[in-house]
Amino acid sequence: ANRGEIAVRILKTCQRLGIRTAVTYSEADSDSLHVRLADKAYCIGPKEAAASYLNIDAILDAAKRAEADAIHPGYGFLAESPALAQACADANIGFVGPKADVIEKMGSKVEAKKIAEEAGLPVVPGHYGTQDDATLRKAAKRIGFPVFIKASAGGGGKGMRLVEDDKTFLKTLALARQEAKSAFGDETVLLEKAILNPRHIEVQVAGDKHGNVVHLFERECSIQRRHQKIIEEAPAGFLDEKMRAALFDYAIRITKAIGYDSLGTIEFLYDQDTGEAYFLEMNTRLQVEHPVTELVTGLDLVALQIAIAAGDAIPFAQGDLAVSGWAIEARVNAEAPADDFRPEIGPVLLYDEPQGDGVRVDSGVAAGSEVMPWYDSMLAKVIAHGKDREEARRRLSAALANYALAGVTTNIAFLGDVLAHPNFSERPLTTRFLTESFPDGWKEAPAAADATLAGIAYVLHVESGAPGSGAPGASIPLHSPWQSLGPWRVVDQSVNPGVTHLRLQRQDTAEDVKIAGHDGEYCVIRGEQRIDIRAKRLADNRICLWMDGERHEFRAAITEDQIVIAGDGHNTVFTLESHLAAEQSASAPQTTHHTLYAPMPGLITALSVAKGDRVKTGDVLVVMEAMKLVHNLVAEADGI
């Protein structure tokens, strides 16, 4: 009962175990990867998650039609829903997770903290009670700013907002409640003192129906954006053995206290300034970052989770477990890190996963997949394992540099820069890593622009069939615009045959280039610059290019109006423009201070103004939901 990479991940373990699978899907996901891989698939509703992936009745109906023995909820959506767990119990269908009452207790951050305190775990100072605005505001003042407002029923950074001072408290409270209601169906919030230099360390635990409980060591998850993790590793570096042992003890204590009988994660905040650790929450499900634990323990956690749900005892004791090497995971998201991690949508035009020793990719997309605004922005995870932290880091960096995922903007280049930053290797990670390492925000280093443009020009020149260009061959299956655009051309017919004129648009910049040549020897003209290249086409969408004695290898794909080039660690999409297209675009609507543009399709949840209202720059005009986040669209100028 899920989608994306976690559904694919679970399917692979089930296939290895010989378990037949059925999946649910929304109307938007009818051709998604998890649907293609399953034995059966059932549509459970329209594209909106609330009407499909969060529809318990539709999920149970599909399970009954499939004659399913059990439901695995993955993570997100209904993974921590006591209602789904109870519905499975009532229908005599197994639930791959803990009992409904345990989910309910630990799903409430308020109840979870009470249980933690009773079990002797330290907790962060906060307010977990009355919900009216005045009481919450008063409590925030008592705790002392800055404070976090958090969704009581949630996790993953949804419904979580930092408040710096009293002036913005009520406005931020309204946004947090709205996100909590949208993501979890419950607008209850709690307040917590904001620890300003924390590390996010968690302990993987497992319990079974026979009373056995073990921990599977710890993970470091401190590198985050918008309170959501982007890099995780196991074990945690720069952590002394005394604190590590204390965290294991705390995790075992609370797991036993609630009679836990599945996989779960106990999350802690470790104050780097004081050396104190606090219980944060328990996630009663599989975690996104579970692969790093798998790689250092040699376990398949999905298989273990399924076995426990079937009533099996945990097949090992605590003393049988040991950490082997180091593993680091990077979450690949459809987002623009250079633009405050704005979520992105669009098609995956080019896809090729990295390979190598110790490298693993868990992906929910393939070439042709569509990234939509209705769901989370995570597309895949790249995980690397090595004998130590440095080897794992190097392997992961190399894997990301060789990951061709283009068409939709991703954070792949950003992840590479995070791993390469000295702060990653030289000191303890904290949740302030990004602001300290990239104080002015992250900006993508320019790709090897000459090589990229030369590669694009070469592909288009050959695909155009320009006389003497080497002729379009069938050695790679590029889709050519010259085969489908009718009279539309980027070739200037007034120039000498064999010269291709191109206008390439990327975001707000355009480049005009020309290329001529044949039989592997080509010349690219870029303004006053002449670039001499040798190039040839290889198999599997690959282009090999030599320039100034340096070899570059690209993968390329062409749509009717775009060319995608992946290589040298960059995934770049250029729009092709003819002179006619350029003239037509001049008459298209232009962004001005008098026009408000949404960054992507989404659901309008609040219209904050009416005709005739006077607004100032920065005033919120519209509130929109997209990709599980709430976006405030604001006035860019004073006006009416």
- Cis previous bond, 146, omega within 30: yes
The separation between CA 272 and the C-alpha centre of its own chain, rounded to angstroms, equals 27
Answer yes or no: are the C-beta atoms of 599 and 576 closer than 8 Å. no
With a CB cutoff of 8 Å and minimum separation 6, the contacts of 162 are 146, 147, 148, 149, 172, 194
Lookup result for tokens 């995956």: 348
Compute the distance between CA of residue 201 and CA of residue 640 in angstroms, rounded to an integer: 49
537 is catalytic: no
- Helices 100-107 and 109-118: crossing angle, nearest 10°? 90
Q: Which two tokens stand for residue 486?
A: 């009718």
Q: Which two tokens stand for residue 114?
A: 């009470």
Q: State phi, psi for 331 to the nearest 5 degrees.
A: -90, 120
Compute the distance between CA of residue 96 and CA of residue 14 in angstroms, rounded to an integer: 13
Compute the distance between CA of residue 257 and CA of residue 309 in angstroms, rounded to an integer: 19
Question: What is the helix, strand, coil percentage profile of the chain, to 5?
Answer: 30, 30, 40
Choose, from 161, 177, 225, 285, the residue flagged as catalytic.
285
Q: Which two tokens stand for residue 276?
A: 């104190």
313 to 4, 296, 300, 306: CA distances (angstroms): 30, 22, 15, 11
Own/partner pairs, 573-576, CB within 8 angstroms, 24+ separation? 573/349, 573/406, 573/407, 573/409, 573/506, 574/456, 574/504, 574/505, 574/506, 575/504, 575/505, 575/506, 576/460, 576/481, 576/490, 576/502, 576/503, 576/504, 576/505
Which amino acid is it at 103? I
Compute the distance between CA of residue 381 and CA of residue 289 in angstroms, rounded to an integer: 9
Cβ atoms within 10 Å, residue 290: 29
Lookup result for tokens 């229908």: 91
Compute the distance between CA of residue 591 and CA of residue 636 in angstroms, rounded to an integer: 11
Q: Which two tokens stand for residue 235?
A: 């074990």
Q: Closest by alpha carbon to 322, among 296, 289, 303?
A: 296
Which residues are catalytically annotated?
A: 285
